[in-house]
Amino acid sequence: MWKFIVRRLLITTPQIVLLSAIVFILAQLMPGDALTGLIDPTVKQERLEELRVQLGLDNPWYIQYRDWVAGIVQGDFGRSFIYKMDVTELIGQRIVNTIWLSVVSVFFIYAIGLPLGIISGRYNDRLIDQLITGYTYIGFATPIFIFGLIAVWIFGFVLGWFPTGGSVAPGLDPGTLEYYLSKIHHVLLPALSIALIGTVGTVQYLRSEIVDTKQRDFIITARAKGASESRVYNRHIFRNSILPIAAFFGYEIVNLINGTVLIEQIFSYPGMGNLFLESIVRRDTTVAITLVLISGIGAILGALLSDIILSMVDPRIRIK
Amino acid sequence: MSNTLLEIKNLKTSFRIGEEYYAAVDNVSLNVNKNEVLAIVGESGSGKSALAFSVMGLHNRAKIEGEIVFKGRNIANLPSKQMNKFRGNELAMIFQDPLTALNPLMEIGRQIDEALILHNKNMPKKKRKEYIIDLLEKVEIPRPKHVYNQFPHELSGGMRQRVIIAIAIANQPELLIADEPTTALDVTIQAQILDLMRELKDDLGSGVILITHDLGVVAEMADRVAVMYAGEIVEIADVETLFENPQHPYTRSLLSSIPLVDDAQDKLHVIHGIVPSLKNLPRQGCRFSARIPWIDESAHEENPELHEISPGHFVRCTCYKHFYFPEENKEEQNHDTAQS
Ligand SMILES: Nc1ncnc2c1ncn2[C@@H]1O[C@H](COP(=O)(O)OP(=O)(O)OP(=O)(O)O)[C@@H](O)[C@H]1O
Ligand SMILES: [Mg+2]
């Protein structure tokens, strides 16, 4: 297993380097540079040239790339033209919010998806399975933003059970119990909206895994030993069916972090997704580039996490 | 008779296809005695596995009619809770494909242990482990202590089949059903597994139902043989009789299609065609008649029955009396024309 993990880690490094290069090229292709946003008719062209030299923008690309990477490694992603502040500072709190939203969503995705998938697979083609499958079809057919809008409208505006915006009620001191309760209260509705729609894939996947596993030969072996139905399910079918789901865990998280863009918009939730849309619309290049880079690295790490989980749970990989 | 271990009476196992049930095992009666090997032979699709699964109660969506009397008790359609007391205990099964019959995520030791836990609740863990290691030794697995902690994918097919045998014999079954236990293995491994099975059988004194389509295996292992075709038994006899004096056209064609090196005639009769699919099985008259069209229709019985032509030797339908291979016929004709 360790060999596998080390090898897997070794692949990750060139992946990240390649990603950074692509993102850098992307940034170069964008119109304007770090000074475009500063343009102020009163500033003279000569002064601008001076500033460019000062910032190293006249250097050959490889020097610029090196400087850029060196900055990133030190946590310096440049400045936002719009907010006139360091990107790091701007993104910091929002990343925390988005990760929090994603973690809660993932929790609900599995809390809803695993039991439904198991029931649906075990009792396949019975009424309960048909109901669950019906739900998954609806979930697939419903765009997340429509579902989110309906949820905000009903549970936020009409019933008033949940707040309709923000990540925490204003005026609470971080660290107090109220503060954390408020955070949970704010995250519940968007997270549940994401989970109710996002879990249908897990339900269907788990269902079909279970239906497949049920017919495998080793299940007959287990029955031939005299194992009871519940034992056959608990010891043999579920473990084998959950394996591929466990392997998708890392990807699921990454998907979510990327997928929160729309939901954050609908729930006016101050996360990265929200910021990303804004940075695109307002051409805040440094912010957009940073977010692309971060989610790219997230995707690579998610894949890494998935592979590591798989290597730990599957003896066919663990042993080698 | 007290020597009878299993008695199957008029067993009919049907599967539902669309709206209707089709019998894959049709009116089969047979019995297995203690310490006896009954071989069941027949081509693919003739219903051998369906029969074995019926005895084990492993079909989940089949209609089972008739009686399966095991040690004096009818176990056909027994609720699974009661059936589980027999399965893996007094009744055990060995499967065809060792590569898929073991749980890929469970250590070998634990898979055998499961059979023990289920039927020997009082045996302490340490005892069970010792017992399993002995068992692995008994089925001639080298380094049993090491294998105990290994996973199936670390073992070869032959080794895995030994593990499956170990699982089956863990509780000293009185009846062992082996469904093509060597089909998936190399020839040399096949011989080893068969030797092992014979030893274990003599050891345990169990009755064995050995399903195979390899007549070499039959000759080597069986005491009696039942030949199945299209869900029915067409001939049943002790092994010597069956090989020396086969009667049913299907049995004869099975036997003559094995090449014998020292066969003076050096001739192979092959009957073309396959067992029809379940839906298309003929349900009336002699089911084999379609594959021997050169035999006159009047040779067949309308409702073919098993006839006891000598003690313990049963043949279905009267067509066996009139059967000849088409090549024989041609030769005769050639002979005739040469003469005239
Ligand atoms: N669960 C099932 N549902 C429907 N039809 C089935 C089922 N199991 C078996 N059959 C059909 O019953 C017939 C007998 O099948 P069976 O598996 O018993 O044959 P077999 O003699 O064991 O052949 P093989 O040598 O290939 O193992 C076949 O036509 C098969 O398609
Ligand atoms: Mg079979």
A278: domain CATH number? 1.10.3720.10
pLDDT by residue (tens digit) across A139-152?
989 888 888 889 88
Under 8 Å CB pairs connecting chains A and B tally to 76
> CB-CB: which of A221, A227, A240 is closest to B118?
A227
Per-residue pLDDT averaged across A131-141, rounded?
93
Is A113 part of a structural domain of the chain? yes
Q: Give me the residue label for tokens 């088409």.
A: B326
- Per-residue pLDDT for A123 more than 90? yes
Q: Please indicate, yes or no, whether residues A78 and A138 belong to a single structural domain of this protein.
A: no
Note whether A226 and B119 are within 8 A (CB): yes
Per residue, what are the HEC states of chain A? CHHHHHHHHHHHHHHHHHHHHHHHHHHHHCCCCCCHHHCCCCCCHHHHHHHHHHHCCCCCHHHHHHHHHHHHHCCCCCECCCCCCEHHHHHHHHHHHHHHHHHHHHHHHHHHHHHHHHHHHHCCCCHHHHHHHHHHHHHHHCCHHHHHHHHHHHHHHHCCCCCCCCCCCCCCCCCCHHHHHHHHHHHHHHHHHHHHHHCHHHHHHHHHHHHHHHCCHHHHHHHHCCCCHHHHHHHHHHHHHHHHHHHCHHHHHHHHHHHHHHHHHHCCCCCHHHHHHHHHHCCCHHHHHHHHHHHHHHHHHHHHHHHHHHHHHCHHHHCC
Determine what percent of chain B is predicted with pLDDT higher than 90.
59
Please state, in angstroms and rounded to a whole number, the distance separating the CA atoms of residues B126 and B114: 14
- Per-residue pLDDT for B335 more than 50? no
Q: Please indicate, yes or no, whether residues A81 and A137 belong to a single structural domain of this protein.
A: no
Q: Give me the residue label for tokens 């957009």.
A: A288
Is A319 part of a structural domain of the chain? no
Query: Which domain-ending residue is among A59, A86, A113?
Result: A86
Is A320 part of a structural domain of the chain? no
Binding site membership of B123 for ligand 1 (Cβ less than 6 Å): no
- Quote the pLDDT of residue B262: 47
Q: Where are the alpha helices (DSSP H) in chain B?
A: 48-56, 80-86, 108-119, 125-138, 144-148, 157-169, 187-204, 215-221, 239-244, 249-256, 326-339
Element (H, E) at B105: none
Q: Which residues of A touch B56 (CB under 8 A)?
A: 224
**Interface contact flag, A227 B114, Cβ < 8 Å:** yes
* Smallest Cα distance from A226 to chain B, Å: 4
Q: Please indicate, yes or no, whether residues A52 and A195 belong to a single structural domain of this protein.
A: no
- Quote the pLDDT of residue B61: 86
Question: Which atom of ligand 1 has the smallest separation from the CA of B213?
Answer: 25
User: How far does chain B reach from its first CA to its final CA, in angstroms?
Assistant: 60
**Interface contact flag, B151 A316, Cβ < 8 Å:** yes
| Reported pTM | 0.81
Residue from B19, B26, B28, B49 whose mutation best tests the ligand 1 pocket (most atoms within 8 A of CB): B49
- pLDDT bin (cut points 50, 70, 90) of residue A319 is low
Note whether A207 and A119 are within 8 A (CB): no
Please state, in angstroms and rounded to a whole number, the distance separating the CA atoms of residues B54 and B65: 10
pLDDT by residue (tens digit) across A46-92?
777 777 776 667 777 788 888 888 888 888 887 777 787 888 888 88
Note whether B49 and B211 are within 8 A (CB): yes
Query: Which domain-ending residue is among A62, A86, A110?
Result: A86
What does the block give as tokens for A314?
């599957």
Q: Please indicate, yes or no, whether residues A249 and A165 belong to a single structural domain of this protein.
A: yes
Please state, in angstroms and rounded to a whole number, the distance separating the CA atoms of residues A274 and A203: 29
Binding site membership of B177 for ligand 1 (Cβ less than 6 Å): no
Measured from the Cβ of residue A295, the count of other Cβ atoms closer than 10 Å reads 19
- Quote the pLDDT of residue A33: 59
**Interface contact flag, B89 A226, Cβ < 8 Å:** yes
Q: Please indicate, yes or no, whether residues A82 and A102 belong to a single structural domain of this protein.
A: no
Q: Give me the residue label for tokens 């918009």.
A: A265
Which structural domains are found in chain B, ordered by start? 4-222 (3.40.50.300), 232-339 (no CATH)
Per-residue pLDDT averaged across B267-282, rounded?
75
Per-residue pLDDT averaged across B24-37, rounded?
93
pLDDT by residue (tens digit) across A168-193?
877 777 888 888 888 888 889 999 99
- Of the candidate ranges A14-18, A267-271, A314-318, B315-319, the one whose mean pLDDT is the lowest: A314-318
What does the block give as tokens for B6?
């299993």
- Per-residue pLDDT for B274 more than 90? no
**Interface contact flag, A225 B58, Cβ < 8 Å:** no
- pLDDT bin (cut points 50, 70, 90) of residue A221 is very high
Per-residue pLDDT averaged across A146-165, rounded?
87
Please state, in angstroms and rounded to a whole number, the distance separating the CA atoms of residues A129 and A207: 9
Is A187 part of a structural domain of the chain? yes
**Interface contact flag, A243 B105, Cβ < 8 Å:** yes
Binding site membership of B277 for ligand 1 (Cβ less than 6 Å): yes
Is A161 part of a structural domain of the chain? yes
Is A132 part of a structural domain of the chain? yes
The radius of gyration of chain A's CA atoms, rounded to the nearest angstrom, is 24
**Interface contact flag, A226 B105, Cβ < 8 Å:** no
A314 versus B310: the higher-pLDDT residue is B310
- pLDDT bin (cut points 50, 70, 90) of residue B328 is low
B86, closest residue in chain A (CA to CA): A226
pLDDT by residue (tens digit) across B159-206?
999 999 999 999 999 999 999 998 888 888 888 888 888 888 888 889
Q: Please indicate, yes or no, whether residues A26 and A148 belong to a single structural domain of this protein.
A: no
**Interface contact flag, A315 B151, Cβ < 8 Å:** yes
* Smallest Cα distance from A205 to chain B, Å: 20
Query: Which domain-ending residue is among A86, A120, A151?
Result: A86
Q: Please indicate, yes or no, whether residues A66 and A119 belong to a single structural domain of this protein.
A: no
Most A CBs within 10 Å, among B54, B87, B93, B114, to test the A interface: B114
Binding site membership of B304 for ligand 1 (Cβ less than 6 Å): no
- pLDDT bin (cut points 50, 70, 90) of residue B258 is low
Give distance in angstroms: CA of B20 to centre of ligand 2: 22
Alpha-carbon distances of A262 from A144, A146, A269, A274, B340, rounded to whole Å:
8, 10, 10, 8, 97
Question: Which atom of ligand 1 has the smallest separation from the CA of B228?
Answer: 21
Chain mean pLDDT for chain B: 87
Of all protein residues, the one whose alpha carbon is nearest to atom 6 of ligand 1 is: B15
Of all protein residues, the one whose alpha carbon is nearest to atom 8 of ligand 1 is: B50
Is A318 part of a structural domain of the chain? no
Q: Please indicate, yes or no, whether residues A124 and A22 belong to a single structural domain of this protein.
A: no
Of all protein residues, the one whose alpha carbon is nearest to atom 14 of ligand 1 is: B47
Please state, in angstroms and rounded to a whole number, the distance separating the CA atoms of residues B155 and B163: 10
Please state, in angstroms and rounded to a whole number, the distance separating the CA atoms of residues A266 and A260: 10
Binding site membership of B3 for ligand 1 (Cβ less than 6 Å): no
Please count the structural domains in chain A. Answer: 2
Q: Please indicate, yes or no, whether residues A292 and A150 belong to a single structural domain of this protein.
A: yes
Note whether B45 and B275 are within 8 A (CB): yes
The ipTM assigned to this model is 0.86
Q: Please indicate, yes or no, whether residues A76 and A124 belong to a single structural domain of this protein.
A: no
What does the block give as tokens for A38?
């500063």
- Per-residue pLDDT for A299 more than 50? yes
- Of the candidate ranges A26-30, A31-35, B251-255, B325-329, the one whose mean pLDDT is the lowest: A31-35
Q: Please indicate, yes or no, whether residues A128 and A36 belong to a single structural domain of this protein.
A: no
Binding site membership of B310 for ligand 1 (Cβ less than 6 Å): no
Least Cα distance to B176 among B153, B197, B148 occurs for B197
pLDDT by residue (tens digit) across B134-165?
999 988 899 999 999 999 999 999 999 999 99
Give distance in angstroms: CA of B44 to centre of ligand 1: 8
Give distance in angstroms: CA of B95 to centre of ligand 2: 9
Least Cα distance to A225 among B169, B147, B122 occurs for B169
Q: Please indicate, yes or no, whether residues A150 and A201 belong to a single structural domain of this protein.
A: yes
What residue numbers bound the domain in which A110 lies?
Answer: 93-313
Per-residue pLDDT averaged across B325-332, rounded?
62
Going across the sheet that includes B306-310, the strands are B91-94, B175-179, B207-212, B37-41, B224-229, B232-238, B313-316, B306-310
- Per-residue pLDDT for B340 more than 60? no
pLDDT by residue (tens digit) across B95-131?
989 899 999 999 999 999 999 999 988 889 999 999 9
Per-residue pLDDT averaged across B300-316, rounded?
90
Per-residue pLDDT averaged across B270-296, rounded?
81
Element (H, E) at B65: strand B62-70
